Amino acid sequence: MTLRRFSSRTHRLDKSFLAEQLKGALSYRRIAGYFTSSLFEVAHEWLESIPDVKIVCNVDIHPDDLKVAQCREAKMLGRWNANAIEAEALLNRDRYRRLDAFLQQHGQAIRVAPDSVCGFVHGKAGVIERADGRKVGFIGSMNETRSGWQHHYEILWEDDSPDGVAWIEAEFDYLWNAAKPLPESVCKEVRRRSRRHEIRLDDVVDDDSIAPAALIESPLYREGMSLQPWQQGFVTECLKHYRDYGFVRLLLADEVGLGKTLSLATAALALCLLNEKENRRRKPMIIFAPATLCEQWQTELLDKLGIPTARWQTTKKVWLDSNERAISPAGAEHIAACPLRIGIVSTGLMMRDSNEKQHLLDLSYGLVILDEAHKARSRQGFGKNAGEPNELLGFITAIAARADHVLLGTATPIQTTPEDLWDLVRVLHQGKGNFVLGNDYARWHKPAEVLPILSGEQEVTDLASAWELLRSPLPPVNSTADNPVRQLYSAIRQDLGLSTRQFEAGRLADLDIGTRQDFELELDRRVANASFFQRENPFVRHVVLRKRTTLEEAGLLKCVGVDVHPDVNRVKDIHAFYALFEGLAVRTDEHFREAYNEARLFGKVLGKRGKGGGFMKNLMQQRICSSLVAGINTATALLEGRTLHEESDDMEEDVALQTDEERAVLELLLHRLKQITVDPKYEAVLHYLVNEGWLEHGCIIFSQYYDTARWLADALAARFPDEALGLYAGAGRSRLYQKDDSVGIERETLKIMVAEHKIRIMVATDAACEGLNLQTLGALINVDLPWNPTKLEQRIGRIKRFGQVRDSVDMLNLVNEQTVDEKVYERLSERMRDKFNLFGSLPDTIKDEWIEDIETLDEKMDQYIDAQKRATGFDLRYNAHLSTSDKDWRDCSNVLSQRDFGTLMREGWEK
């Protein structure tokens, strides 16, 4: 038995120790420090021939994150991609090739141990079993890197005593058994970097490679995340339409919470790059979204895809970048000269007359996206304008006629009747999209004629009638995955001499008799109990719909339950609960009830303006139902003579006091509010955080108003001074609190702190919630109730996602008693009993007119739900796109230069 000591001052450690011990060795056990790309760079040539290699590495990942495989992969990739890839991958390509070869040869030879097990691994050690069967242990300071073995000052002790070897093996075994396998995605990234090559856009070989080439090193992928299979599938569908039709016309109708924004944004990126590759004129690319979502769009495109965009500021009439800086001159005419490749404009501006509308109608577009597209619809009711398009539908119909590609997005394409869907599909049919519904005489334009066919109530068996439905529009051969139908379409085109881009067929009599017989056979064949025209119709071809339950059944989404509160049956402290709640509502005092009555009176006084009052009549009710502070701040601003710019999902409006009556009511309202010493919602939040233990799970608290979010963040920071607390808001208003102080902070930093379990309380506004992943938190509080159930679904989607370690998360909805919010919530709560799919078929918005008479609210929602059920007769079968394409985007090694990509996206509009 010998004990030998080595120092890099006197020995070449790689030559005097590694070379001597590893050559011909039988096994190698190593505690190696952090996993890096240079792992085994020095020892590779000797390790290559060793049959049994096991290395345990350190990784800075919270133990909760290690429990979930997807989360573990994302965390490790995010850590690894923290530094710039371009130069590092180029300079160390050989290193990656060696590491890739080692990983492929030795399989799961590497495991990673969390900080909770080992902290930072300073103790580096290993055991080598030599060719003669003798074991040698060693302990030293060096990492398994070239620098560790060759360049740094390091010391190493060699010990071949049985006791010494056994001691090291015991330490290794403990770490190895506590560790997790190196994720496959990390191995893939090693392989990708070993082949990484920057290319120009012109060098992209096929269309399907263009999106991964641009995105594989985007912020989304660098953080270890990726597009979900159904999102990638939508991009694939867009590219297929591009090849089949030359122009893309699609309605994305995925259910709430499935990431429509990212799907649409990625498709926009792919189409933009294809346009550039083909050297087409750089036509404007524009996104229309409700005012409340415009900032979300801008943030998500930048934070996830690395795409800078400009957002039109309606009041100042300038284009803003993501930092709220004006990047254009002021004036309505400048809306037609966006300084970046993609511009984002509020649909509220298009719901009324404006100079900007006409300027936009003078342009032609490369791509138009309309989010929340169901707001573009025909007017309902029985008045003189019933059946006519509303302002938004009229506008987007005209814009679509001037666009190459049109993408519409909505989770609720059918609001009241199935005919609502035609409003949107007719938008797709405009201009270059005239292949969508066929010629002007095609039956697909007439819902009354084809709805019975689509729903299965009527089956088409007559060949002549069937031909009239099929011939216009004649589908492309590749429009279906059903092989017999593909063969039929191909035969029809051959018989009639039609090219791939012709979508009008001639006479049935001109078809070969064999083709007609095949057509008759297809009419008789049913698939999944669906008739031919239920499966093959323009709606299946141009509407993409995926449902949450389908994705859960396919194993693509985890079923995370949601326990809805307040619920007396779920509380620990029942006496404290009853002191705070009356049924489903927060108890209030007489001062609040008087203030609420004044808020209702203020709405009635505003309503005297007629049309000018608009949705503003509910302004103060919604503000004080959010928080006392929101009510006080709004009333104070109006009384000081300020004009408030208010935005709803449907429109934008400026409000300022106009009459002495308005001022008198508001002054009394403000007086009532100031009599209330403590906001009861704050006490309810504290009860759940402390008494019910939600702080231990981590909690996100949402409000639709910044005033409420800021007040609550300030109050909770004072209550929990030792907690790091985040305020996540838009327009540079995010903050980090601790120890009675706070600082302004970037939203991205807050997201990282939550992911690293450094923040357990996050207060956020709706303006910032899209794309926010907070699965490390296990509870959510809605401090106010937006009259928009889809926003509630978006909020719970921040924690109800992969990586959530709880099987059920908790959601608390706070409404004040004896208010319209309480009555609306009573109706909603009855339809929120399914713990895996909270809202399902609820309408996206509780409309103002629905709550004029609260007793009719149930009836209105039931009418909506019945319409949804009737529509499921023609389930828009896009489940084939739940899986990804054959190519795994993470394998993409030919990448577009991020510098060149950024330059391209900063090119302004060309008219």
Secondary structure (DSSP) of 754-786: HHTT--SEEEEEGGGTTT---TT--EEEESS--
Query: CA 526 to CA 826: how far, in whole Å?
Result: 44
pLDDT band at 364 (very low <50, low <70, confident <90, very high): very high
Backbone angles phi, psi at 561, to 5 degrees: -75, 160
State the pLDDT at residue 790. 64
Q: In the prediction, which pLDDT does 60 show?
A: 58
E strand spans, 201-240: none
The β-bridge relationship of strands 808-813 and 779-782 is parallel
Three-state DSSP string of 831-873: CCCCCCCCCCCCCCCCCHHHHCCHHHHHHHHHHHHHHHHHHHH
- 479-517 tens-digit pLDDT: 988 899 999 999 999 999 999 999 999 999 999 999 999
CB-based contact 191:100 (threshold 8 Å)? yes
Side-chain-side CA neighbours of residue 824 (13 Å): 25
Q: Which two three-digit tokens encode residue 904?
A: 């391209």
The per-residue pLDDT for 861 is 59
Q: How would residue 816 be classed by pLDDT, with cut points 50, 70 and 90?
A: very high
Supply the pLDDT for residue 240. Answer: 93
Give the pTM. 0.76
pLDDT at 134: 92
Q: Are 465 and 431 in contact (CB under 8 A)?
A: no
Closest CA to 211 of 238, 185, 247, 251: 238
Q: For residues 327 and 318, what is the distance between their CA atoms, to the nearest angstrom?
A: 7
Query: In this structure, are strands 652-655 and 644-647 parallel, antiparallel, or unpaired?
Result: antiparallel
Check: CB of residue 649 under 8 Å from CB of residue 630.
no
Tens-place pLDDT, residues 18-32:
777 888 889 999 888
Residue 448: is its pLDDT beyond 60?
yes
Residue pLDDT, tens place only, 261-314: 999 999 999 999 998 888 777 899 999 998 878 888 998 899 889 999 999 999
151's CB contacts (< 8 A; 6+ apart) are none
Strand order in the sheet with 318-320: 318-320, 310-313, 342-346, 285-289, 365-371, 403-409, 249-252, 543-544
The helix/strand/coil state of 503 is: coil
Kindly tell me the burial class for residue 343, based on how many C-beta atoms sit within 10 Å of its own C-beta (0-12, 13-18, 19 or more): buried
Q: What is the mean pLDDT of residues 661-670?
A: 91
Q: In the predicted model, is pLDDT for residue 90 greater than 90?
A: no
pLDDT the model gives residue 867: 47
pLDDT digits (tens, 9 = 90+) for 582-626: 988 999 999 999 999 999 999 888 888 765 555 567 888 889 999
870, pLDDT greater than 70: no
Q: What is the mean pLDDT of residues 194-200?
A: 89
Q: Degrees (nearest 5) of the Cα angle 477, 481, 487?
A: 45
Contact predicate 803/61, CB 8 Å: no
Average pLDDT (823-827) is 76
Spatial distance between the Cα atoms of 106 and 421, rounded to a whole number of angstroms:
55
pLDDT at residue 723 in the model: 95
- Two structure tokens written together for 272: 């933009």
What's the chain's Rg over C-alpha atoms? Answer: 31
254 closest CA partner among 681, 630, 546, 635: 546
